[in-house]
Chain A
Amino acid sequence: GQNIDQPTEMTATEGAIVQINCTYQTSGFNGLFWYQQHAGEAPTFLSYNVLDGLEEKGRFSSFLSRSKGYSYLLLKELQMKDSASYLCACMDSNYQLIWGAGTKLIIKP
């Protein structure tokens, strides 16, 4: 079956770095997405990886290893506004997104 696993909750300190991991098993693979979702709001797009390696975008970076079925989202210089849920999603062979349950990130001062 298809499965996306990510930690339920993580805590980090303002100004620090945090890495949110995601492992996946899907029927086919057409890319991996990360979205941010603040409480009570809609998900918003952060990053897309389809080739192995690191994609950097400001304070956020996303890494993909297709052979390991693994990705991570790296957040640097954490700010209080980064407190949110981070959703990992894989695009399967039918170009449908399969979503993880999300990782709730709590930032402490």
Chain B
Amino acid sequence: IAGITQAPTSQILAAGRRMTLRCTQDMRHNAMYWYRQDLGLGLRLIHYSNTAGTTGKGEVPDGYSVSRANTDDFPLTLASAVPSQTSVYFCASSDSTGGHNEQFFGPGTRLTVL
């Protein structure tokens, strides 16, 4: 693989179900991020990780959890999905967190919660 990948590409989920969105990068980037993108709104940060073993809450963390057991993987879990979590989810990574460190984005996961 080259860059950052996400799985699944899309998913339809019943409300109340648990779901994990996967994200893997092979660039050895320290920092990783999860965003959601909704029509008419900017990308909103859900959770982030500045380095393996650490995580932090973003702007909209409620209903989501993350883990960062190693450098490459940063899964996002919805413990009990609700319709308001219908969105496009992007995972991103950057070499570090300061200054001119562009974020590289995965292709996204389109999630529909019914």
Contact = CB atoms under 8 A, between A and B. Distances in A.
Partners in one complex: yes
B69 interface: no
B45 interface: yes
A30 B107 contact: no
A45 B104 CA distance: 8
Contacts of B40: 101
- Chain A interface size band reads 20 to 34
A87 interface: yes
A95 B94 CA distance: 12
A87 B105 CA distance: 13
Interface string A73-96: 000000000000001010100011
Contact of B108 (A42, A87, A89, A98): A42
11 contacts: A31-B99, A33-B102, A41-B108, A42-B106, A87-B43, A91-B99, A95-B98, A96-B45, A99-B44, A100-B42, A102-B42
Interface of A: 4, 30-31, 33, 41-45, 48, 50, 87, 89, 91, 95-102
